[in-house]
Amino acid sequence: MELSIFLLFAATTFVVVLTPSPAAIAVAAQASSNGFVRSQSAIGGAASANTAFFVLSATGLSASIIASETLFMAIKWFGVAYLTYLGLSAIFSRSGGLQIEQGKPRSMASLYAKGFLVEAANPKALLYFAAILPQFLDTNMPIMPQMAIMGVTTLFFDWAVYSGYATLGAQVARTGVRPSLVSAINRLAGGALLYSAFRVAKVAV
């Protein structure tokens, strides 16, 4: 995998993970009532769900991509459309502030389960892996090592970004986050995703 392609993948993935999601909001909420350190269990749960999605996508995609360049191109343009949809959805989102919850401290296992279930219930991750991964792959090189690099990169961004949300939740516990801030984040993320869609459309097999 060329460095420029990897950097484009990393930038796209970072923006997608950064965009407020059910898992991000849940992590912030758990950090507000259980603290930053304990909220790492919720982050671990969300990351585990994404790992499962990644494995499901990778095991099925690798053989298909090797067998058909036509399929590669079809998935590529589906991915471009999906990124465009995500970008426009973020720009026009009407989501309010991240309401931080207060409650009784929960066990580490409970926090892990909550993070896993919230992320597993959101099919966006599975759709992202299925639609986006193939277009960053070099079909002239072994597929699985490239997917492994992408998987580790995605999990790192999951941990880093969700830890940021956990820090936010621990700091602003009772006040929440202003809707104007969420709107600004959404617009920036949306613009970045639209740019990623444009760049991805130019990626050749």
Q: Is 97 a residue whose pLDDT tops 50?
A: no
Range of the domain at 12: 3-201
Number of domains in the chain: 1
> Which residues 6+ apart lie within 8 Å of 77 measured at CB?
201
Poorest-pLDDT segment among 9-18, 22-31, 56-65, 142-151: 56-65
Alpha helices (H) in 92-123, listed in sequence order: 108-120
From residue 9, alpha-carbon distances to 80, 86, 142, 162 in Å are 13, 16, 17, 19
Mean pLDDT of 61-75: 63
- Rounded Cα–Cα distance for residues 81 and 130 (Å): 13
Provide the pLDDT confidence category of residue 104 given band limits of 50, 70 and 90: low
Please give the model's pTM, rounded to 2 decimal places.
Answer: 0.65
**pLDDT tens figures, 139-186:** 788 888 888 898 899 899 989 999 998 888 787 655 655 667 667 766
